[in-house]
Amino acid sequence: MSLNIIILAAGKGRRMHSSLPKVMHKVGGSTMLEHVLIASKKLKPKTINVVINSKTDDIKKSFEQYDVNWYIQLKQNGTADAVKTVLPHLAINEKVLVLYADTPLIDHKLLEKFIKYMPKSDVKVLTVNLENPFGYGRIVREQAEEEIVAKIIEELEADHIQKNIKECNTGIIFSDSTTLKNLISKVDNKNSKKEYYLTDIVSIANKNNLLVVPLLAKESNSLLGVNDKIQLEKTEKIFQNNKRNHFLSQGVTMLDSQTVYFKGNVSIGEDVEIEQNVVFEGTVKIEDNVKIRANTNIKNTKISSGTEIKTFSIIEDSTIGSNCSIGPFARIRPNCKLEENVGIGNFVEVKATSIKKNTKANHLTYLGDTDIGENVNVGAGVITCNYDGVNKHKTIIKDNVFVGSDSQLIAPIVVEEGVTIAAGSTITDNSEKDSLLIARSRQQEKKNWKK
């Protein structure tokens, strides 16, 4: 029988005090819902079904790349009602795993173990021991030593004895579609919140002589739910520490790992050194022997082996070749491609530019919409003037060019191979190969000048 996953994401998240839907708040740079979708995909289910409320229909637009069936819970009448919106669309006796979009640290390996655990049971409940169980449904076992759940008591319905129970319900349930349909049809809303609790199927199952078993997870961090900004911060800290420990265990050197932040899909090679206050965002690949100095931000970028990113540099949506030197105080804007042994120095900004090997721009320069060849030297204060107020234009600088300091290249323009541009020149026309370009006013001297 095929696996179908139902992800509940219809909660309004009032305690977040935000106009943004709760499940769209981010942990580690990705929305909570996306974390759960990624874990779900790893289980290779037949379908992934997400239940949202009518006021969060825009969520669908953010996940067009995922193969997801979307369902709207018109009124927030409880978790049983949310699951009920999906069940009619599932085949008879299909396996069903119920997950929650506000548990972003969920581990797919734990879910695999949960699915395989006690295959002859009718309903399975994933549980966890919490030192502070406030707010969680408590697991009441038939007998303390038995692997059978008698019922789940929600916080508001629990008496003072039941509130002392440490074993808590995560909300994650595994059963089959037919069993769930039958059980949910018998759930009522006779409780303080007048909601249809999915947890009530446990006691109903017991009354119908069905076997309900718990799997007690060994650690709780991956199962933490997020209901407010305090829990969101706690979850973010856990996520970051998990990432830091992973990379430290893989041999990455961090001078102060607590100041290094991972906000996306990051891979790091061998013998990489990372200093303080570094942020990785999006899809980042760091190859071997890279040095990343303090106070840098790297987003959606590949950095090849042997390159050094110096302090206070920002790189985004670009590719950096091997043995390059970037910074300090450099900014590589989107759509840049640097080949090997390129030098981008302090206060240099590069945008939508390709630079071939052994080229240097070491000081106070702007290179935008430019193709630069090999062995080019770009002096201090050089500007490629790429924008005429309406359109962007291309500058092409071929191999072995020397651009003198404080020069402006007015695009569109082609600087041919071997050209030397004298310092302080404003270049407006294309040039011939191996020429010297001088475009500046001749100095005049007025002797004995008086103001």
Residue 330: exposure state from Cβ atoms within 10 A (0-12, 13-18, ≥19): buried
Which residues, including other chains, have CB under 8 Å from residue 134's CB and lie 6 or more apart?
Answer: 155
Q: What is the three-class DSSP state of 272? A: coil
Please state the three-class secondary structure of 310-349 as a single string: CCCCEEECEEECCCCEECCCCEECCCEEECCCCEEEEEEE
Q: What is the three-class DSSP state of 10? A: coil
Element (H, E) at 399: none
Q: Is 25 a catalytic residue?
A: no
What CA–CA distance (Å, rounded) separates 280 from 299? 6
CA 118 to chain centre: 35
What CA–CA distance (Å, rounded) separates 342 from 329? 16
C-alpha count within 13 angstroms, C-beta hemisphere, residue 411 = 20
Give helix 200-207 / helix 177-184 axis angle, nearest 10°: 100
Point out the catalytic residue in the list 17, 89, 246, 363. 363
What CA–CA distance (Å, rounded) separates 210 from 201? 10
Residues 106 and 239 sit within 8 Å (Cβ to Cβ): no
Catalytic sites, residue numbers: 363
